[in-house]
Each structure stands twice: as C-alpha cells, then as structure tokens.
Structure 1
Amino acid sequence: MDGGSGCVTKKYKLVLFGDAAVGKTSLVLQFVKGNFSNEPQEATIGVAFQSKIVCLQDSTVKFEIWDTAGSARYQGLAPMYYRGADAALVVFDITNEDSFTKAKTWICTLQTQVKKSIILALAGNKSDLKYHKSVDRQKIQEFVEENDLVFMETSAKSGNNVTNMFLSIATKLVEKEKKALEDQATSSGHNTTSTTNTSTSAAVAADSLDNEGDDMSDGCCCCCVVL
C-alpha cells in the first residue's frame, strides 16, 4: 500500500493493556483524534478498535490499535487480542502504585506468551498530575532497563508525549523489520557463497578426474598375466 509519498505503508497490530481507569482509551483518542474529554470515559467492554497512519522519515506506518478493557472480568480474553500483535503498550497511572504493579504483571505475561519479536512499551500516564505522583521513579527506571522497554510519561489530557510514544513504537517496529531483512539477506548471501564454493569444488574435482582419464588413455599399457 502506498502512503501517498512514494513510501510503502507498513501495517502493524498494536494492543493496549493496563488496569481500569489508567487512561488507555483517552491516550488512544488523543493520538488518533487529537482530543480529550473531561467527561468520564465509559469503561471499555471487551475491546475497542482504532486505526491511525503516521509518517516517519522514510516509512509510513498504519497502526491497527486494539484497546482492551482493564476490568478483571475481561482479562481472560487477552490472548485473543495479543495473539499476532507486533507491539504492545502497557499503561499505568503514575498516581496509582497498584496500577504499576499490574503493569509489571502484564509485561511479564506478554514476555512469556507472545512472539519474541514483539515491541513492548510502557506508558506512565497522567503526568499532568505529577504533584500527586506515587510511583517511585527509580523503580520505574529499573524495571524499564531490565526489560528493555520503550518508556515515556504521558498525559492524555494535555497531550504531552502521546504522539511521541506512538512514534517511538513505530520507529522501533520499522527498525526491527529492517534488521530482520538485513539478517535474512546476509544469511542468504552466506548460503549462496557456500553453494557456489561447493559447486566450484565439485567442478574442480570432476575436471581433475577427466585429466586423470586423459593421462591413462595416452600412456595406456596392456599387462598380460602369464599363467
């Protein structure tokens, strides 16, 4: 698919997880539509779907965004949504320590249940309430580094770092795909070289046998066995 600028549009499945009321839906709506409602959001039932196209420097990315419900009664459905996901964004509320604990559990679940190539990201939402922050920054940083996560503090209300969060995930996805293609090309190159070397060796061996045959023909002698 052409993104309109001569670039091929790459399509990726992105799934959001996190406790109820951490602002997952608000983040998605801020990213997709650029707005925030001060009215309380209705709780997501099961999953909500949105899509958004973003342009990077040399790529166009289409996110297919699956916003899952945070309520415990829907968590059993999670495997249906993270199966085949290219990226997952786990969200917690920086003013709610328990939501960070739940976020860590989600990360661990995804690491063990989803394909190894998935990009995992963590968003500490509600940064506009930083004076009410209850999650220790050092704990967050250590967890992010230990698990190699994309991480930002975001605010669905002000829009702070919302677009940057999704752009960072898009960049990671494109980089990982490029590396996979480069590794595949390198591997194919090695296989081609190996095949060529094998063919060359076989040709040299065959040529050597032909030369031996010629020598035997030119210097042939008949041996008679006297009984």
Structure 2
Amino acid sequence: MNSTASVFLPPNYFLLGGSGCYGNNTPPSAPTILVGDSGVGKTSLLVQFDQGKFIPGSFSATVGIGFTNKVLTVDELKVRLQIWDTAGQERFRSVTHAYYRDAQALLLLYDITSKSSFDNTRAWLTEIHEYAQDDVVIMLLGNKSDMTSARAIRREEGEKLAREYGVIFLETSAKTGLNVDEAFMTIFLHPQIPDFQILSYPNKPYINGSLFIQLSYDACISILKN
C-alpha cells in the first residue's frame, strides 16, 4: 500500500473495524459501482485492483455491466467486495440506473487529462442522488494521475468539488496502481457500510492512506482483546 497516499475525507469521518471484530466468519461485503464517462479508466482500475496489473490498449468500451467479486485479506480481516463496472455511454444509462438502488458505494471516476470528463461529474452526481439510496457512500476519483504532462485538472479542483458535494476524493492511476487499493479500502471502511463497529476519530480532513487502514485494523484488534 502506498505510504504517501493522501485521502480527502469529509468532516466527521470515522475509522472502524469490520464485522470480523464480532467473530463472524462471513466476510462483510459492500456492493460497489464504478461510474463515470467512457474512457476514464473504470475497467482498467478494476483490473488493477482485481489482478494487480495494467493491460494497455486491450479494453473496448464496456457494454452494459461487468461484475467482479473479490475477497481480500487485510492482515487477518477478510473483506468481500462486489464490484460492478458500468458503461459510460448515454445509451446504457437506463441499465446503470437499475443498479444504483442496490449499491452501498459508488466510485465516480474522471480522467485528469480530460476537462469534459471532470465537468460531467456534476451530471453524474445529480444522477446518483436521483437514483441511488440516500445514504450511499460516494468517492470521487481523479484517474490517470501518472499522466502528469497531459494533466488538465489540478488536484485542488478535484478536492474543491469533493468538498462542495461532501464526498471522498482521491487521485489514482490504474496504470501504476497508485492509490487503487486505498480507494477500494477507504470505501469498505466507511461507517455507512453495514456490519461495522464505528470508532470515533478526530476531525482530520487529510490522513495517510496506509495509516488509515492500519489504525482501522488496530482498533479491531483492541475490541477483540477487550
């Protein structure tokens, strides 16, 4: 896990341990949907997270919905993530809308080299608020952060938009793997995802990604000892 990851968290965020703290042998799950314009790297991000590799130029635009079910082990805590990769094209939006209602988390991607994909995030957020559950967890991801020479959207612009909508923000690179694991784990450890023990944490808008995961796990261990 990248030790220099910087995660923007809305005020009053909490750290928490998973249901493994209760001795439940069933890994907790969080149905998660990837959304955003076509070409922002949703499928590449999912492949990097699932397989730990980047396959350049091998993906055509997603048609409809793709699905990945992944079980992770964070130290001794098992995590089951159900992830839907959606098509970004307008003609598939009605299909995507049907999946919004069952999602506990949404990762909204834009391409940091594409101003139009960033501008369109407002329309995506409006759509999410219309079709998804009121308590759905939303994370804004500025993808392709490795393409620094072609950057069109500054990190500060992404952070500002995240603050405006009260969502989590992180820049990622599906190519290098930068912050990809952190993005999914930050979603998984969010207090609005069911079956978790919430542990209060001081109001800090920025924390180190690795520290975030480690503190969460340590908190879980302390519950087991008590």
Please say if residues 40 and 117 of structure 2, whose CA atoms lie closer than 8 Å, have aligned partners that are also in contact: yes
Q: 1:30: how far off? A: 0.3
Q: 1:106 aligns with which of 124, 130, 152?
A: 124
Give % identity. Answer: 33
**Is it true that 1:145 corresponds to 2:189 in the alignment?**
no
Aligned to 2:220: none
- Of structures 1 and 2, the larger Rg is shown by 1
Distance in structure 2 (CA, Å) of the matches to 1:174 and 1:114: 14
Structure (1/2) with the larger strand percentage:
2
Matched residue type, 1:10: P
Distance in structure 2 (CA, Å) of the matches to 1:83 and 1:47: 15
Matched residue type, 2:161: F
Please say if residues 119 and 173 of structure 1, whose CA atoms lie closer than 8 Å, have aligned partners that are also in contact: no
Aligned to 1:170: 188
Give unmatched runs, 5+ long, in structure 2. 1-18, 199-226
Please say if residues 63 and 87 of structure 2, whose CA atoms lie closer than 8 Å, have aligned partners that are also in contact: yes
Higher relative contact order (CA 8 A, sep 6+): 2
Distance in structure 2 (CA, Å) of the matches to 1:6 and 1:81: 28
Structure (1/2) with the larger helix percentage:
1
Matched residue type, 2:142: G
Distance in structure 1 (CA, Å) of the matches to 2:170 and 2:66: 23
**Secondary structure of 1:120's partner?**
strand
Please say if residues 115 and 153 of structure 2, whose CA atoms lie closer than 8 Å, have aligned partners that are also in contact: yes
**Secondary structure of 2:93's partner?**
helix
Q: 1:175: how far off? A: 6.3
Distance in structure 2 (CA, Å) of the matches to 1:40 and 1:134: 24
Aligned to 2:143: 125
**Secondary structure of 1:172's partner?**
coil
Q: 1:37 aligns with which of 55, 67, 70?
A: 55
Matched residue type, 1:115: Q
Give unmatched runs, 5+ long, in structure 1. 181-227
Q: Larger deviation: 105-114 or 157-166?
A: 105-114
**Secondary structure of 2:39's partner?**
coil
**Is it true that 1:161 corresponds to 2:190 in the alignment?**
no
Q: How does 1:1-227 map to 2 (within 5 A)?
A: 7-56=25-74, 59-173=77-191, 177-178=195-196
Please say if residues 43 and 85 of structure 2, whose CA atoms lie closer than 8 Å, have aligned partners that are also in contact: yes
The change in CA–CA distance for 1:51 and 1:173 in structure 2 (over 3 A counts) is: farther
Distance in structure 1 (CA, Å) of the matches to 2:155 and 2:50: 28
Q: 1:92: how far off? A: 0.5
The change in CA–CA distance for 1:174 and 1:112 in structure 2 (over 3 A counts) is: closer
Q: 1:112: how far off? A: 3.1
**Secondary structure of 1:127's partner?**
coil
Q: 1:173: how far off? A: 4.9
The change in CA–CA distance for 1:143 and 1:37 in structure 2 (over 3 A counts) is: same
